[in-house]
């Protein structure tokens, strides 16, 4: 018979369901029971750590004093400082946040910002957290990361997550939060225009002689929004990737290898920031462009339209 402290319970476990049904005191009592079980599991890990690591762990900030007071000193620090190790997600497409959480001596001390300048990625080969800059960072500038999953909601939602959902227990005073009306309007504008104008590319391909349908007409809105996103410090938003990807594809379809590589390189760099991909050489990027399924659609479209006109 296994010791109960080392038995993993899950919602599908009949023993767990029996315990659930027998729990008196409702959800609060059930929550206490689950937290107590997690504390025991963390204790099993904690006891295997070196003394110096244990001291470093206990020196981390704990925003969950109620856990400490309830005799759960480990779980509060885990909830305050833990980061989902997304790169260790199950290969079968399970929870995208992965099944592991890591607490780091230094990484866990990096402050939050709603317009962060670094993103982190857990490198399973190096078994270490890597930091990558989302934009140029000045010497002496504080590194900041994002504790929320999404940086684009309005401030009231971001703050609710920080104080109520995740219970980090602080009021964010980052650049975005200090200028709430402006930053809320900016986020709303970016989200309204989150979809690049694919239809303009199609119109241009079908009638490349149109005065109003120049190359600039196809790309200028995405270029403008990218500049605006950079002004707001929101390079880690999904919209930033969407517009970079569109520009690379648009110039690819137009048959402009130089411009397509330029934007693809920016897009690839942003992907690296998010998921730790290796840097790609110019030769690799050029090969991607000229072997892309949309490469020089402009030429094909011209041939097709000439054929239609002369038929």
Question: Residues interacting with Zn ion, by CB under 5 A?
Answer: 114, 172, 174, 176-177
Structure tokens at 189: 């504008």
Closest among 13, 258, 60, 235 to 136, alpha carbons compared: 235
- Comparing CA positions, the residue from 253, 250, 28, 238 lying closest to residue 119 is 238
CA distance 257 to 296: 9
- What's the closest the beta carbon of residue 231 comes to Zn ion, in angstroms? 16
Kindly state the tokens that stand for 42.
């963390």
- For residue 173, the minimal CB distance to Zn ion (Å) is 7
- Cα separations in angstroms, 158 against 167, 168, 244: 12, 12, 25
Nearer to Zn ion, 114 or 254 (CB): 114
Instruction: Compare residues 7 and 111 and give the one whose CB is closer to Zn ion.
Output: 111
Q: Which residues contact 165 (CB under 8 A, 6 or more apart)?
A: none
Of 243, 285, 276, 281, the C-alpha closest to 118 is 276
Measured in whole angstroms, how far is the alpha carbon of residue 216 from the centre of its chain?
A: 31
Q: Tell me the closest approach of the beta carbon of residue 150 to Zn ion, in angstroms.
A: 13
* Gap between the Cα atoms of 206 and 201, Å rounded: 9
Classified as helix, coil or strand, 245 is helix
C-alpha distance across the termini of the chain, in Å: 83
Minimum CB distance to Zn ion smaller for 180 or for 287: 180
Q: Tell me how far, at minimum, the Cβ of 282 lies from Zn ion, in Å.
A: 37
Residue closer to Zn ion by CB (options 186, 268) is: 186
Q: Which of 260, 247, 266, 267 is nearest to 291 (CA)?
A: 260
Nearer to Zn ion, 147 or 204 (CB): 147
**Closest approach of Zn ion to the CB of residue 176, in Å:** 5
Q: How far is the CB of 149 from Zn ion (least distance, A)?
A: 14
* Closer Cβ to Zn ion, 111 or 281, answer by number: 111
Closest CB 76 distance from Zn ion, rounded Å: 23
Residue 115 or 253: the one with the smaller Cβ distance to Zn ion is 115
**Shortest Å distance, C-beta 3 to Zn ion:** 45
Q: 118 near 276, Cβ under 8 Å?
A: no
CB nearer to Zn ion: give 174 or 298: 174
- Rounded-to-integer distance, Cα 105 and Cα 117, Å: 20
**How is residue 175 written in tokens?**
């650049």
CB of 129 to Zn ion, least distance (A): 22
Residues 6 or more apart whose Cβ sits within 8 Å of residue 36 = 72
Nearer to Zn ion (CB atom), residue 159 or residue 296: 159
**Between vectors from CA 143 to CA 49 and to CA 155, what angle results, nearest 5°?**
105
């Amino acid at each position: 018979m296994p010791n109960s402290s080392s038995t993993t319970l899950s919602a599908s476990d009949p023993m767990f369901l029996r315990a659930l049904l027998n729990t008196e005191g409702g959800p609060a009592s059930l929550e206490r029971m689950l937290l107590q079980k997690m504390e025991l599991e963390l204790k099993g890990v904690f006891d295997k750590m070196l003394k110096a690591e244990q001291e470093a762990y206990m020196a981390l900030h704990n925003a969950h004093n109620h856990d400490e007071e309830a005799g759960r000193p480990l779980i509060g620090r885990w909830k305050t400082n833990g980061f989902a190790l997304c790169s260790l997600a199950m290969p079968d497409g399970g929870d995208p946040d992965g099944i592991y959480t890591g607490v780091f001596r230094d990484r866990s001390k990096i402050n939050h910002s709603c317009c962060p300048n670094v993103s982190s990625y857990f490198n399973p080969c190096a078994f270490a957290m890597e930091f990558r800059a989302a934009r140029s960072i000045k010497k002496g500038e504080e590194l900041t990361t994002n504790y929320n999953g999404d940086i684009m909601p309005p401030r009231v939602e971001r703050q609710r997550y920080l104080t109520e959902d995740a219970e980090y227990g602080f009021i964010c005073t980052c650049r975005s939060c200090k200028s709430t009306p402006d930053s809320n309007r900016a986020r709303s504008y970016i989200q309204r225009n989150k979809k690049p104008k694919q239809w303009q590319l199609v119109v241009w391909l079908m009638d490349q002689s149109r005065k109003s349908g120049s190359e600039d007409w196809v790309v200028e809105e995405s270029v403008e929004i990218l500049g605006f996103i950079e002004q707001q410090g929101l390079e880690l938003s999904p919209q930033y990737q969407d517009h970079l990807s569109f520009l690379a594809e648009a110039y690819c379809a137009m048959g402009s290898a130089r411009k397509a590589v330029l934007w693809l390189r920016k897009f690839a760099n942003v992907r690296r920031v998010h998921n730790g991909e290796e840097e790609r050489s110019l030769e690799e990027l050029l090969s991607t462009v000229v072997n892309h399924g949309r490469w020089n659609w402009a030429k094909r479209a011209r041939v097709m339209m000439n054929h239609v006109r002369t038929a």
